[in-house]
Structure 1
Amino acid sequence: MTLTELKYIVAVAREKHFGKAAEACHVSQPTLSLAIKKLEEELDMKIFERSASEVSVTALGDEVVRQAQSVLEQAAEIKEIAKRGKDPLSGPLRLGVIYTIGPYLLPDLVRQVITRTPQMPLMLQENFTVRLLEMLRTGEIDCAILAEPFPDTGLAQAPLYDEPFVAALPRAHPLAGEASLTTDQLKDETMLLLGNGHCFRDHVLEVCPEFARFSSRTEGIRKSFEGSSLETIKHMVAAGMGVTLVPRLSVPEEAWAQPDKKSVNGDAHVRYLPIVDPHGGLPPTRRVVLAWRRSFTRYEAIAALRNAVYACALPGVTRLS
């Protein structure tokens, strides 16, 4: 049994035709047919049912084809490992990103990676923190951009930046004319939150624990609306349904730089204000980090990704070395 023979049966299963499979493998049809016949004899089974009109895979042959595909993929990975040994930046980097970071960091990050390390394309996966940690553990992704805190899973970590929270209010709101807000000023407001599973929801509740008590009899927050994404919640704020906190990178820059002018990104009815500590302390922030398995050996790839993040605009955040 050879990898070439496995390649042939995968091609025939895909094309459902010996001639087309031979063409795809750049060999003659007799060569391909003879190799498959030899493999069937070696295994003492039929992989394909042949007829004048079509070629079909037998029930047992289907299992053989799936296993052959897996073997070919693993063989290809061996070549990739060897290639990466010569150039650690060569080959895709599988990167996971949480939902409240991806839409705002990835557009610039992908451009930076293409410019700096075109030989290292990013294979991207957006998901919740818990799912990304599981994917890291099982090797489905190489690294992930997450927000602290998250469970200690023995991962290697590197801090990227500290990102402040920003209040988002309807432009007609009485507090929209302020230069900044404190969390105390938001206690009596209807707070719009992300649904369960989003770590940013937990971050907001840590900053404003009053918002965790959703009851009509509770003084302060009276009602909770759960949106599926930050952008959905922003639309709800624009509609006047309440206020929310958002990470700084999610704020369109023109809405922050020129708060009295309409945003071309559709935030014409939302006013963004910084959150300050009335006692002079630090404003509420989240720390964004890059995490990867300690067994992941492409250290140069991790360093290149960090440098690409640092090369992004990242308005309003504090870069961490």
Structure 2
Amino acid sequence: MTLTELRYIVAVARERHFGRAAEACFVSQPTLSVAIKKLEEELEVKLFERGGSEVSVTPLGEEIIRQAQATLESAASIKEIARRGKDPLAGPLRLGVIYTIGPYLLPDLVRNAIDHVPQMPLMLHENFTVRLLEMLRTGELDCTILAEPFPDTGLAIAPLYDEPFMVAVPRHHPLASRASISSAELKQQTMLLLGTGHCFRDHVLEVCPEFARFSSDTEGIRKSFEGSSLETIKHMVASGMGITVVPQLSVPADHGTPDHPSLLRYIPFSDPVPTRRVVLAWRRSFTRYEAIAALRNAVYQCPLPGVRRVTD
């Protein structure tokens, strides 16, 4: 039995699919399948039911996978304990960031980290919240920057900032001249959304819950488009395909100025303004506390226009 085999069975249990699990582990599907079969033969138990389009975990397999998860966390802790005698700021810090934060925070954050803690290079990984939490639990990441809420996993959490949302519309849209807009006024608009898996999609659906009912067999689907990134959606809004909701930091600082005319207009929400809380999360067993503090300070040194820093 090896840690690699344990990572494989945890990945299959998470993905419920051998192909996707192999992709997540950066190995071929045959390699993953052979390793899991070898482990099943060694343990003389069946971990997964293989049938249909989805893999299911056997009752005994559920217990073994929970223990495998705990073992992977313990293995990660051993590596951290071994570093205790060293400078906690020396060496890379593996940081995960969700897609709707990374492009707007990381350029300034990396620059600040290089200026103030050059001995602690940031190893960056962008992904969905669910995947980042999994990588955090298995020790593939040291910490993550996420937006609440997310599943309670017993992590240590430090708030960073509260970020308001804005409405993005084409510059010639009837709403473009408005000083503010209420969420109720968006109900009759064509809303462009991020695809499933993005937590910001869920935040937008909280603001505009009527869009949650859209499915392929309803007329409402004609009113929505699912994009892979905020920037893709912004370009589609600029072309007149609809409107969208974006986080404050994604709004260009110089948008709409005479020197930088924009195809988009960004309109604030009227009270109550929808916001999201962005936090820094890490395993409680992670021992480089000074590194976490240095990263948090580097975030606070970023411009963060329009957001409210939370220093509690």
Provide TM-score, normalisation by structure 1: 0.69
1:146 aligns with 2:143: no
1:310 to 300, 303, 308: 300
CA distance in 1, matches of 2:190, 2:148: 26
Alpha-carbon distance between aligned partners in 1 of 2:236 and 2:198, rounded to the nearest angstrom: 18
1:273 aligns with 2:273: no
* Counterpart residue type for residue 300 of structure 2: Y
Distance 1:86-1:222 versus aligned 2 partners, 3 A rule: same
**Alpha-carbon spacing, 1:116–1:84, altered in 2? closer, same or farther (3 Å):** farther
**Does 2:214 correspond to 1:202?**
no
Q: Counterpart of 1:137?
A: 137
Aligned match of 1:166: 166
- Paired with 1:234 and 1:115, the residues of 2 have a C-alpha distance of 32
Larger radius of gyration: 1
Q: CA deviation at 1:217?
A: 5.0
Q: Work out the CA distance in 1 between the residues paired with 2:219 and 2:144.
A: 41
Equivalent-residue separation in structure 1 for 2:233 and 2:285 (angstroms): 39
3-state SS in 1 of match to 2:119: coil
User: Following superposition, which runs of at least 4 residues in structure 1 exceed 3 angstroms of deviation?
Assistant: 80-84, 215-218, 259-263
Report Cα offsets for 1:123-158 as digits up to 9, x if no partner: 000000000000001000000000000000000000
Question: What is the one-letter code of the residue matched to 2:174?
Answer: P
Partner AA of 1:228 in structure 2 = S
In the TM superposition, residue 261 of structure 1 has moved relative to its aligned partner by 3.5
Q: Quote the residue 1:92 is aligned against.
A: 92
Give the stretch that moved more between structures: 80-89 or 186-195. Answer: 80-89
Deviation at 1:203, TM superposition (A): 0.4
Conserved 8 A contact 1:89-1:120: yes
Question: Match of 1:306, SS?
Answer: helix
Give 1:289's aligned residue.
Answer: 279
- Count of residues in Structure 1 that have an aligned counterpart in Structure 2: 233
Cα distance change on mapping 1:207 and 1:96 into 2, 3 Å: same
Amino acid at match of 1:290: L
Deviation at 1:108, TM superposition (A): 0.1
Output the amino acid matched with 2:299.
Answer: V
1:1-321 mapped onto 2 (5 Å cutoff): 85-214=85-214, 217=219, 223-255=223-255, 259=256, 261=258, 263=260, 268-277=262-271, 282-321=272-311
CA contact (8 A) 1:83 1:90 kept: no
CA distance in 2 between partners of 1:308 and 1:268 (Å): 30
- Secondary structure of the 1:177 match is coil
**CA drift at 1:223:** 1.3
CA, structure 1 residues 304+260, in 2 after alignment: closer, same or farther (shift >3 Å)?
closer
For 1:81 and 1:155, locate their aligned partners in 2 and report how far apart those are by CA, in whole Å.
18
Aligned counterparts of 1:93 and 1:208: Cα–Cα separation in 2:
37
Q: Residue 60 of structure 1 aligns with which residue?
A: none
Tell whether the 8 Å contact from 1:261 to 1:268 is kept in structure 2 after alignment: no
Q: Is the Cα contact below 8 Å between 1:84 and 1:90 reproduced in 2?
A: no
Q: Are 2:84 and 2:287, in contact at CA under 8 Å, matched by a contact in 1?
A: no
Query: 1:310 Cα shift?
Result: 0.3
DSSP-derived class of the 2:123 partner: strand
AA aligned to 1:311 is Q
Q: Offset at 1:185? A: 1.4
SS in structure 2 opposite 1:167? strand
User: 1:54 maps to what in 2?
Assistant: none
Report the CA distance between 1:286 and its aligned residue: 0.4
Aligned-pair identity (%): 76
> 1:20-64: CA deviations, max 9, x gaps?
xxxxxxxxxxxxxxxxxxxxxxxxxxxxxxxxxxxxxxxxxxxxx
Task: Report if the CA contact (8 A) 1:262-1:268 is conserved.
Answer: no
CA distance in 1 between partners of 2:308 and 2:238 (Å): 28
SS in 2 for 1:233: helix
Encode CA deviations 1:194-219: one digit per residue, 9 max, x unaligned: 0000000000001110122337656x
Kindly report the root-mean-square deviation, in angstroms, between the aligned alpha carbons of the 2 structures.
2.0
Query: Mind listing any 5+ residue stretches in structure 2 that lack a counterpart?
Result: 1-74
Report the TM-score when normalising by structure 2. 0.71
